[in-house]
């Protein structure tokens, strides 16, 4: 029960303190996505820092890609650890399935798209196709280096005690009141991606030019600043919308916080469609298929990255505000 003094002040977000840490539906999937998103966030930061320090030449695109892949493979431990800690907090018991999905699911999607695109390139006899031996090497890195590291991270995560929530969860779920239009999940998710996308909008044009129009990209220092601004904007937007929803007594924030900032990736995809229609002169079907295949891959990576940033920011925020409530 809440103290009598505080009963007077009970309103909005304070009313849902007994439900705010209720585990979400499909907690396994959410923990896997957050684990992989953490891996991508750290990988992109390290790659950008190396590029800023001049270790990676803008003229050599292969160096940038190689650095990103090596970083991703070696960062399996944070992915396994984050996923395991979250899944354990959600009260999940199928830990073996959680570990395998963290190691296989998201890299599998990216690798699957990449493999299909390469088959198309091989069929057309293109010089851009990746040799079969490189594919075997990538698979070996994935299964022989990344996967064992995910298992180590998950082992460390499951060994640690469950993180204590600041408030106790009630046994009976509280009914969520009827929501107004702007506090319903979909409008919030649609709005949430606009601001973060606005931050990266200008840089996207130059990045897409460097990929598709064969121009060199030299602004890595500026890109690092944009990366930091993107993280701050994703965090602030998601926290603000999360607070509005909690004040409206809607405590289902877990998935919403991930999808709100993750929706930035949908705007990115729409911008890529616009770029394709207005800036590129591609007429044959194979090139169109390749363009949208690679775009889909980048969209998925950005979705995991921005979604994870939004989720972790909200997770931190919710724990902070509920830790100040006096509950017996």
- Give the mean model confidence (pLDDT) for residues 190-207: 90
Residue 5 lies in a domain: no
Q: How many domains does the chain have?
A: 1
Q: To the nearest whole number, what is the mean pLDDT of the chain?
A: 88
Phi-psi region of 250 (alpha: psi -120 to 50; beta: other; left: phi over 0): beta
In this predicted structure, the answer to whether residue 139 has a pLDDT above a threshold of 80 is: yes
pLDDT at 123: 87
Phi-psi region of 191 (alpha: psi -120 to 50; beta: other; left: phi over 0): alpha
**303-327 pLDDT per residue, tens:** 999 999 999 999 999 999 988 876 6
pLDDT: which is higher, 160 or 214: 160
Residue 175 lies in a domain: no
In this predicted structure, the answer to whether residue 171 has a pLDDT above a threshold of 60 is: yes
Percent of the chain residues past pLDDT 70, beyond the cut: 96
Residue 270 lies in a domain: yes
The residues, ordered by sequence, that sit 6+ positions from 42 with a Cβ below 8 Å of its Cβ are 71, 75, 78
Q: Around Cβ 69, how many Cβ atoms within 10 Å?
A: 16
pLDDT: which is higher, 324 or 8: 324
| Residue 328 banded pLDDT, cuts 50, 70, 90 | low
Residue 231 lies in a domain: yes
Confirm if 189 and 256 have CB atoms less than 8 A apart: yes
Residue 4 lies in a domain: no
Residue of 308, 314, 21 whose CA lies nearest to 163: 21
Rounded CA gap, 81 and 94, in Å? 15
pLDDT: which is higher, 30 or 14: 30
Token reading at 108 = 């599998």
| Residue 162 banded pLDDT, cuts 50, 70, 90 | confident
**229-251 pLDDT per residue, tens:** 999 999 999 999 999 888 888 88
Residue 240 lies in a domain: yes
- Give the mean model confidence (pLDDT) for residues 137-162: 93
Token reading at 140 = 């070996």
Q: Around Cβ 307, how many Cβ atoms within 10 Å?
A: 27
In this predicted structure, the answer to whether residue 8 has a pLDDT above a threshold of 50 is: no
**29-74 pLDDT per residue, tens:** 999 999 999 999 999 999 999 999 888 877 777 888 899 999 999 9
Residue 67 lies in a domain: yes
- Give the mean model confidence (pLDDT) for residues 122-148: 88
**277-303 pLDDT per residue, tens:** 998 888 788 889 999 999 999 999 999
pLDDT at 316: 94
- Give the mean model confidence (pLDDT) for residues 143-171: 90
- Give the mean model confidence (pLDDT) for residues 199-224: 86
Residue 196 lies in a domain: yes
Query: By residue range, what is the domain housing residue 39?
Result: 11-167+182-324
Helices (H), the chain: 4-7, 27-52, 61-74, 76-89, 95-123, 132-141, 147-159, 185-192, 194-212, 220-247, 254-262, 264-278, 285-323
In this predicted structure, the answer to whether residue 7 has a pLDDT above a threshold of 60 is: no
pLDDT at 9: 53
Lowest mean pLDDT among 107-116, 117-126, 254-263, 304-313: 117-126
The residues, ordered by sequence, that sit 6+ positions from 247 with a Cβ below 8 Å of its Cβ are 12, 13
């Amino acid at each position: 029960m809440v103290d009598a003094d505080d009963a007077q002040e009970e309103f909005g977000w304070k009313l849902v303190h007994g439900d705010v840490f209720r585990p979400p539906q499909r907690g396994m999937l959410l923990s896997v996505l957050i684990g992989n998103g953490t891996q991508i966030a750290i990988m992109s930061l390290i790659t950008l820092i190396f590029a800023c320090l001049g270790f990676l030449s803008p003229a050599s695109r292969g160096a940038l890609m190689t650095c990103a892949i090596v970083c991703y493979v070696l960062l399996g431990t944070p992915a396994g650890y984050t996923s395991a800690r979250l899944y354990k907090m959600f009260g999940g018991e199928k830990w073996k399935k959680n570990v395998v999905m963290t190691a296989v699911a998201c890299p599998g999607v990216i690798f699957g798209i990449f493999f299909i695109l390469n088959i198309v390139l091989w069929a057309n006899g293109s010089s851009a196709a990746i040799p079969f031996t490189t594919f075997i090497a990538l698979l070996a890195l994935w299964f022989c280096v990344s996967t064992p590291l995910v298992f180590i991270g998950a082992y460390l995560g499951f060994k640690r005690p469950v993180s204590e929530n600041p408030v106790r969860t009630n046994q009976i779920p509280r009914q969520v009141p009827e929501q107004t239009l702007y506090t319903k999940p979909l409008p919030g998710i649609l709005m949430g991606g606009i601001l973060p996308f606005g931050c990266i909008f200008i840089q996207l044009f130059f990045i897409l030019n460097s990929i598709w129009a064969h121009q060199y990209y030299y602004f890595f220092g500026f890109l690092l600043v944009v990366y930091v601004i993107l993280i701050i904007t994703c965090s602030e937007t998601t926290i603000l919308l999360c607070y509005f929803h909690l004040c409206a007594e809607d405590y289902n924030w877990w998935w919403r916080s991930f999808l709100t900032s993750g929706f930035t990736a949908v705007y990115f995809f729409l911008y890529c469609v616009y770029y394709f229609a207005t800036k590129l002169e591609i007429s044959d079907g194979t090139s169109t298929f390749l363009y949208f295949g690679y775009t889909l891959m980048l969209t998925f990576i950005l979705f995991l990255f921005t979604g994870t940033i939004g989720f972790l920011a909200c997770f931190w925020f919710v724990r902070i505000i509920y830790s100040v409530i006096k509950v017996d």
